[in-house]
Amino acid sequence: MDVFDRLKVATPDDWQSYVEHDFVRQMGAGTLPQAAFRTYLVQDYLFLIQFARAYALAAYKSRALPDMKAAQAGMAAILDEMDLHVRLCGRWGLSPQDIEAAPEHQATVAYTRFVLDCGAAGDLLDLHVALAPCVIGYAEIGRYLAPEGVDALGDHPYREWIAEYAGDAYQAVAASARHHLDDLAARAMTERRFNELAALFGKASRLEADFWQMGFDGGR
- Residues annotated as part of the active site: 134, 208
User: Among 175, 176, 169, which Cα is nearest to 70's?
Assistant: 176
CA 141 to chain centre: 10
Distance, in Å, from the CA atom of 10 to the CA atom of 131, rounded to the nearest integer, reads 17
Q: Do the Cβ atoms of 215 and 23 come closer than 8 Å? A: yes
Provide CB contacts within 8 A for 158, sequence distance 6+: 27, 30, 32, 37, 145
Provide CB contacts within 8 A for 191, sequence distance 6+: none
Q: Do the Cβ atoms of 199 and 126 come closer than 8 Å? A: no
CB count within 10 Å of CB 97 equals 7
Distance, in Å, from the CA atom of 191 to the CA atom of 196, rounded to the nearest integer, reads 9
